């Protein structure tokens, strides 16, 4: 009679506690990944960024992973030195990268200062933010493959699809929070405060991983009595040849890069699309894209559980790819500008983004042996990062090149208005008042206030300006007219609406006078700019065709993968849960 020894992973309670711990750190990692995604309009206003600057920073997520083969390296480290080494290593790298990105926004850089990277000239702030994000990208991808291997270890022969689905769901919650609330929080505080909150959560994730390591060590002690320690079962570098020679691996990897390249950049540019195409306010532009991860939180575990019990993994991936095609075609169509269509389209995207990962990640252990699993996940993530690096950068470049006048004309209007605002206020009784934070209105504070108000002016114009092409603008004439008219209107408002009693009153109260001044000036100048039909909305039509092409390729690869599974017998269409005899 054979006695089967029970281990910690045979306890459902222990397995799911481990999953929650692992998922929290990934939640923090995904939150930081999307921390500036809804802030593109704010970064343009506050720091003078354009679409290429924003695209550069977001694309650098995969810079080290792709061009320095860091994901291949960390995958080998995972298989050679184990899960516990990799949990601490990955989260430490995330914290260092996140801190660098925080200081990129915290520090003051000299106006116009640049850094040369290879053949590219970048603003110093953009360079520092990019480097921090690139280092963070190594850490979060390293954490991702470590967590995937950990789940495969703890849920082997159990509810692996459901577990991976739950991990994805919790992590996606991290994506949703900054998308929905990031712009609002940045408006109340500032960009660097939003990033600092995310770094603190990464530090909390470090403590979570430390606790997980104590549990995992106990499991290894139990498994040590049962597992074969033969040298042939240990990972060797030559095993990489086996992985890269597996056709099923390449199909999964290609599907991964195409699918994620058609979804993750949507987080980066979706909020800006909502502002420019659907007329959503900046504060809530990330709300609709933020529904995507909320949808995955509900549906990914469901589809993962379905795969566990019923199988049909390859078919699930095909259905997800088809839905993704529908979504991006709808976003592509230039005549679809009603926010209701955007709402329902985002819901479909949430379903699509639940289907593919719920079947794709649990399918990898069916194709690759366990001892090579860490390196296989790492190689897939490495290939995926080509898309996460290249697609956001390509989108930013194409968006700028297909809308060449928008960024320069925004700057002209913003600078002219800001200059007029500053000059009038610094010479008025308002300079002795207190701003809404209770600080004296120094020249520096007025400069910040005028720049912020000028940014609000641009947002107002964008919300009412037509999408149609317009004739060329005489930039010198535009600059002079905006400056002259703004100065006249702001001075008239202060003269007509404020008096000495009002000034004395607002010294000790919230500065309602400034708020009214801002609202009055913004509305009047916005009407003047809009009447000139100056096009300040980005037209995303040509840019969005990139997503459409990616989704069609994803469907093609998913169909080939199903055919390959039928030939090789990977078992992608079979359930994950093994029935005990």
- What are 527-559's pLDDT values in tens digits? 888 777 777 888 899 999 999 999 999 999 999
Q: Distance (Å, rounded) from C-alpha 190 to C-alpha 210?
A: 32
CA distances from 536 to 410, 463, 566 (A): 7, 9, 52
Is the pLDDT score of 206 beyond 70? yes
The CA distance from 105 to 109, in Å, is 9
Cα end-to-end distance, the chain, whole Å? 15
Query: In the structure encoding, which two tokens stand for residue 461, read together?
Result: 């114009």
Residue 520, H or E segment = helix 512-531
CA distance 215 to 281: 47
Residue 451 or residue 383, greater confidence? 383
For domain 12-220+239-403+539-568, which CATH number applies: 1.20.1250.20, 1.10.10.60, 3.40.50.2300, 3.40.50.300?
Answer: 1.20.1250.20
Q: Can you state the angle between helices 12-33 and 83-106, rounded to 10 degrees?
A: 30
Q: How far apart are CA 554 and CA 10, in angstroms?
A: 37
Q: How confident is the model at residue 465 (pLDDT cuts 50, 70, 90)?
A: low
**Two tokens, residue 263:** 């979804």
Question: For the chain, which residues make up each domain, given as ranges?
Answer: 12-220+239-403+539-568, 406-531
Residue 228 — pLDDT band, cuts 50, 70, 90? very low
Percent of the chain with pLDDT over 70: 88
pLDDT band, residue 267 (cuts 50/70/90):
confident
pLDDT, position 285: 82
Task: Please state, in angstroms and rounded to a whole number, the distance separating the CA atoms of residues 178 and 169.
Answer: 15
pTM listed for this prediction: 0.77
Counting Cα atoms < 13 Å in the Cβ hemisphere of 577 gives 14
Pairing type for strands 114-117 and 120-123 reads antiparallel
Q: Nearest-CA neighbor of 300 among 356, 364, 258?
A: 356
Q: What is the 3-state secondary structure (H, E, C) of 150-182?
A: HHHHHCCCCCHHHHHHHHHHHHHHHHHHHHHHH
Question: What are the phi and psi torsion angles at 121 (to 5°)?
Answer: -105, 125
- For residue 181, give Cα distances in angstroms to 174, 271, 284, 339: 11, 12, 8, 19
Average pLDDT over residues 30-55: 86
Q: Which residue has the higher pLDDT, 455 or 543?
A: 543
Distance CA 207, CA 213 (A): 10
Q: What is the mean pLDDT of the chain?
A: 84
Separation CA 185–CA 194 (nearest Å) = 7
Q: DSSP per residue over 296-333, as a string?
A: HHHHHHHHHHHHHHH--HHHHHHHHHHHHHHHHHHHH-
Count of CB atoms situated within 10 Å of the CB of 369: 13
Contacts with 331 (C-beta within 8 Å, 6 or more apart), sequence order: 273, 342, 345, 540, 544, 547
- 355/349 Cα distance (integer angstroms): 10
- Quick check: 510 and 381 in contact, CB under 8 A? no
pLDDT more than 90, % of the chain: 35
Lowest pLDDT segment from 10-14, 134-138, 142-146, 238-242: 238-242
User: Which H helix or E strand runs over 114?
Assistant: strand 114-117
Tokens of 83: 């899960």
Any idea what the Cα angle at residue 84 is, between residues 83 and 88, rounded to 5°?
A: 115
For 536-566, b where at least 16 C-beta lie within 10 A, e where not — what string? bbbbbeebbebbbebbebbbebbebbbebbe
The alpha carbon of residue 93 and the mean position of all alpha carbons in its chain are separated, in whole angstroms, by: 18
């Amino acid at each position: 009679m054979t006695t089967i020894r029970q281990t910690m992973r045979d306890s459902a309670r222990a397995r799911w506690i481990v999953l929650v711990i692992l998922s929290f750190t990934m939640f923090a990692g995904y939150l930081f990944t999307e921390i500036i995604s809804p802030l593109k309009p704010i970064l343009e206003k506050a720091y003078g960024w354009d679409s290429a600057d924003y695209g550069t920073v977001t694309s650098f997520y995969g810079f080290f992973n792709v061009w320095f083969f860091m994901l291949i390296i960390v995958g080998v480290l995972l298989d050679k030195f184990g899960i516990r080494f990799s949990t601490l290593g990955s989260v430490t790298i995330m914290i260092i990268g996140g801190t660098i990105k925080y200081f990129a926004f915290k520090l003051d850089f000299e106006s116009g200062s640049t850094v040369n990277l290879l053949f590219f000239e970048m603003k110093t702030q953009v360079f520092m933010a990019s480097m921090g994000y690139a280092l963070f990208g190594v850490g979060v991808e390293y954490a991702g493959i470590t967590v995937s291997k950990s789940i495969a270890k703890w849920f082997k022969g159990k509810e692996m699809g459901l577990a991976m689905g739950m991990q994805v769901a919790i992590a996606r919650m991290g994506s949703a929070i900054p998308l929905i609330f990031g712009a609002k929080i940045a408006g109340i505080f500032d960009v660097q405060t939003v990033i600092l909150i995310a770094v603190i959560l990464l530090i909390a994730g470090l403590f979570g991983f430390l606790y997980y390591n104590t549990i995992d060590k106990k499991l290894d002690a139990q498994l040590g009595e049962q597992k074969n320690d033969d040298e042939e079962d240990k990972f060797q570098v030559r095993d990489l040849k086996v992985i890269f020679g597996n056709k099923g691996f390449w199909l999964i990897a290609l599907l991964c890069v195409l699918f994620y390249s058609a979804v993750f950049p949507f987080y980066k540019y979706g909020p800006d699309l909502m502002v420019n195409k659907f007329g959503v306010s900046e504060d809530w532009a990330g709300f609709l894209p933020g529904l995507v991860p909320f949808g995955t939180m509900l549906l990914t575990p469901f589809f993962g559980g379905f795969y566990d019990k019923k199988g049909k993994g390859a078919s699930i991936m095909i259905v997800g790819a088809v839905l993704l095609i529908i979504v991006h075609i709808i976003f592509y169509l230039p005549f679809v500008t009603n926010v209701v269509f955007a709402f329902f389209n985002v819901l479909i995207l949430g379903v699509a983004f639940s289907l593919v990962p719920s079947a794709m990640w649990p399918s990898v252990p069916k194709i690759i042996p366990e001892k090579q699993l860490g390196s296989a996940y790492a190689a897939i993530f490495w290939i995926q990062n080509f898309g996460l690096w290249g697609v956001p950068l390509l989108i930013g470049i194409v968006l700028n090149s297909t809308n060449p006048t928008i960024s320069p004309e925004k700057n002209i209007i913003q600078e002219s208005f800001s200059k007029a605002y500053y000059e009038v206020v610094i010479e008025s009784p308002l300079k002795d008042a207190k701003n809404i934070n209770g600080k004296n209105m120094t020249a520096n504070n007025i400069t910040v206030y005028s720049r912020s108000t000028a940014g609000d002016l641009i947002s107002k114009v964008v919300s009412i300006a037509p999408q149609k092409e317009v004739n060329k603008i005489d930039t010198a004439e535009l600059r002079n007219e905006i400056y002259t008219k703004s100065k006249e209107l702001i001075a008239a408002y202060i003269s007509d609406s404020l008096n000495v009693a009002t000034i004395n009153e607002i010294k000790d109260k919230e500065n309602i006078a400034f708020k009214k001044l801002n609202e009055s000036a913004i509305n009047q100048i916005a009407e003047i700019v809009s009447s000139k039909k100056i096009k300040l909305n980005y037209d995303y039509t040509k840019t969005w065709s990139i997503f459409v092409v990616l989704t069609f390729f994803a469907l093609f690869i998913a169909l080939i993968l199903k055919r390959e599974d039928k030939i090789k017998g990977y078992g992608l269409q079979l359930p994950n849960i093994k029935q005990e005899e």
